[in-house]
Amino acid sequence: MAQGTTTTRTAPAGGAAPPGEDGTPTAARTRSSDGTHRGVFSRGMRVIGHAVRAEPWIFGLAVFGAMLHSAVNVGSASVLGHITDHTILPAFAEGSTTAAALLAAAALLMAVGLGKAIGLAIRRLLAGLMQFRMQARYRRSVARKYLELPLSWHHRHPTGQLLSNANADVEATWQPLAPLPMVVGSIFMLAISAVAMLVTDPVLALVAFVVFPVLAAANVAFQRRVSPLASHAQALRAEVSGVAHESFDGALVVKTLGREDTETERFTDATHRLRDALIRVGRLRAMFDPFMEALPNLGVLAVLLIGMWRLSTGAIEPGDLVQIAFLFTLLALPIRSFGWLLGDLPRSVVGWDRVQSVLRSEGAMEYGDRTLDDGPAGIALSVRDLTFTYADSYDSDHRDLMDDGTPEARTTVLDGFDLDIAPGRTVAVVGPTGSGKSTLTTVLMRLVDPDDGTVSYDGTDVRDLARDQIPTHAALVPQGTFVFEDTVRDNITLGAAGIDDEQVWAALRLARADGFIAELDGGLDARLGEKGTTLSGGQRQRLALARAVVRRPRLLIMDDATSAVDPQVEAQILAGLRERDDAATVLVVAYRRATIELADEVVYMEGGRVRGRGTHSELLQTSPGYARLVTAYERAGESENEPVPEEPGPAEPNPNPAPRGGRAREEDDR
């Protein structure tokens, strides 16, 4: 393994796992890091503990608001009892009351209402603030991790599932934070309510002490039934997201091949499985919720019946009965809050596991502290004994051993590749399909690290360079161009500081894109459609080239980046790159003979190795494979933008493949 690389061993970043032997979805069978099974409740409390430790002050203030609300609620029962005994009953007995008594009762009720409103506002505002802060924090953490992990890791994880990890899973993880302060306040309310009821009348208090354990037992039974179903539904959400992303991203392919029905069926199947899982959860809730609603009300009826008997014997006063009955009605909602919290815990645990599967992923590239000198000359590029392999297929865990214990099958794409390019030289790389050209460009830019060998800039191994050195001194224009739904200016600069409009126009002129940009309504301020749908293929390629050269890189790598550009315009672009005062070292993967002839030197590669090197005319004489390849292009007609079928050769895996299982997006893997 090359220096600076580590083997990545991660569970899938989302997605539905196969069911276990007992039929329970694996995603629901949560397991701790030490391999022992833990209950959903205990694991959920550990997740909540992370949030409390991260935001202690906000949580503390939210709990204070909840406790204030609870205390005022309990106090309101005493207020009602007092008003019953000292205002309402005397008014009935005497047939009249005084304004002072009514004002006193109104003042007490207003004080209770104001206290409840203040506590409720503090609790809800800070609970929401805590929840959204934790979601934002973990979204940023997941996004940073995505940027740290190498391209090879992203190849093994479907984009739709990664989006689910950063969005739906993060939201599910911290969903219990919304009712959490209310639950803590409810515990406080239950405690002081129990004391208040015992002080008022121990006999009626026993009714509550019978009802509350029944409610708690019902909650536990419900959670045991709903946890695996809710966990499975959460996993299916990521699967639906992945299918939708593939279908939308590959809409052009789907429509041109008339596969709308197939994609619709695929999406329908995924959504129906999610629907069925959610319906199963809903059915359980439909049975549980009415029971939880009815039990406190039955308790209130029991309190009233027993209380009327106690009242008839003179054991209690009417105000005492009103106070206890009101407390019982108040406690119904807080008790339900326990159900809300417990109902969110299964999804929270699954979301936490899926987010942590990303955050714990290994394989992030290591960087050194070396820097490159700034100068007008291009980079001296040196490649020694470069070897790179792709796995023939990726299993969910990306294991090095297959299920039967045999080594994982891998295809060697670069095999002992050697290359030296002098500063400022333009070199064309030519070879048949599967020869490793596109893979070479990703390795040279250190988007992936090789299995063996070294890549050096100005004599420095790229793995010893600081993180910002390669993007500062080198640029890659890939086969597939991406245009953001933004202004022309921001598509060129990508928000980089220190690039003014004059530099942007200079880059556009070099890429021969200034003409059509000037004709757009707004010029540099014109907004481009999603993925550049308002531009032609050649215009998008020239825009991508301008994006690369505006930073004045010392090494420019072009992977068939002008295939959709007119040959004459392409020649002007390459000539402009060579005529610059700070002429960069240029490596261009080329197919057209006109492009090849513009290069200072041509490298012919086949089977992952350099098979010939020299000028175009020299290779025509010395390399039969190169001669056959170039003449095949000529027979097909040099005026065509797309290359013709080449010599048969081993297929080179696409450095940017569609996620495993995807069918909608099929890209050229030249």
- Residue 268 structure tokens: 């329908």
Q: H or E stretch including 577? A: helix 567-579
Query: CA-to-CA distance for 91 and 98, rounded, in angstroms?
Result: 9
CB atoms within 10 A of CB 105: 19
Of 77, 330, 345, residue with least CA distance to 190:
330
pLDDT tens column, 279-288:
888 887 777 7
* Strand ranges of the sheet holding 555-559, from the earlier edge strand across to the other edge: 474-477, 555-559, 585-589, 426-430, 601-606, 609-614
* CA angle in degrees (0–180, nearest 5) for 29-184-171: 45
> What's the pLDDT score for residue 131?
92
> What's the pLDDT score for residue 457?
92
> What's the pLDDT score for residue 581?
60
What pTM was computed for the model? 0.65
> What's the pLDDT score for residue 310?
78
Nearest 5°: phi and psi at 146? -55, -40
> What's the pLDDT score for residue 402?
42
Give the chain's largest Cα–Cα span. Answer: 123
Instruction: Identify whether the C-beta of residue 166 lies closer than 8 Å to the C-beta of residue 48.
Output: no
> What's the pLDDT score for residue 24?
38
User: For the chain (length 670 residues), average pLDDT per consecutive 10?
Assistant: 36 38 38 44 86 91 88 77 76 75 83 86 91 93 86 77 83 88 83 78 76 72 73 76 75 78 85 87 78 74 80 77 73 69 79 88 82 81 88 47 49 86 89 86 88 90 89 86 82 82 87 84 81 78 86 86 73 75 80 80 89 88 86 58 41 43 33
* CA angle in degrees (0–180, nearest 5) for 438-377-539: 45
pLDDT tens column, 122-165:
988 999 999 999 999 999 999 888 888 877 788 777 777 788 78
Q: Is 523 left (phi over 0), alpha (psi -120 to 50) or beta?
A: left
> What's the pLDDT score for residue 409?
61
> What's the pLDDT score for residue 335?
67
Instruction: Identify whether the C-beta of residue 317 lies closer than 8 Å to the C-beta of residue 342.
Output: no
pLDDT tens column, 175-206:
888 888 888 888 887 777 778 778 877 877 77
> What's the pLDDT score for residue 57?
93
CB-based burial label for 304 (10 Å; 0-12, 13-18, 19+): middle
Q: How far is CA 434 from the centre of its chain?
A: 32
Query: CA-to-CA distance for 192 and 77, rounded, in angstroms?
Result: 12
* Strand ranges of the sheet holding 452-457, from the earlier edge strand across to the other edge: 410-421, 381-391, 452-457, 460-461
Coil vs helix vs strand at 497: coil
The structural domains of the chain, ordered by start, are 36-359 (1.20.1560.10), 381-391+410-483+553-636 (3.40.50.300)
Instruction: Identify whether the C-beta of residue 126 lies closer than 8 Å to the C-beta of residue 62.
Output: yes
Coil vs helix vs strand at 175: helix
Helix axes 56-83, 99-148, angle to 10 degrees: 160
Give the Å distances, CA to CA, from 337 to 164, 176, 185, 647. 27, 10, 10, 69
Residue bearing tokens 């493949």: 657
Give the Å distances, CA to CA, from 281 to 44, 221, 222, 285. 19, 14, 10, 6
Query: CA-to-CA distance for 198 and 195, rounded, in angstroms?
Result: 5
Coil vs helix vs strand at 513: coil
CB-based burial label for 404 (10 Å; 0-12, 13-18, 19+): exposed
> What's the pLDDT score for residue 125?
93
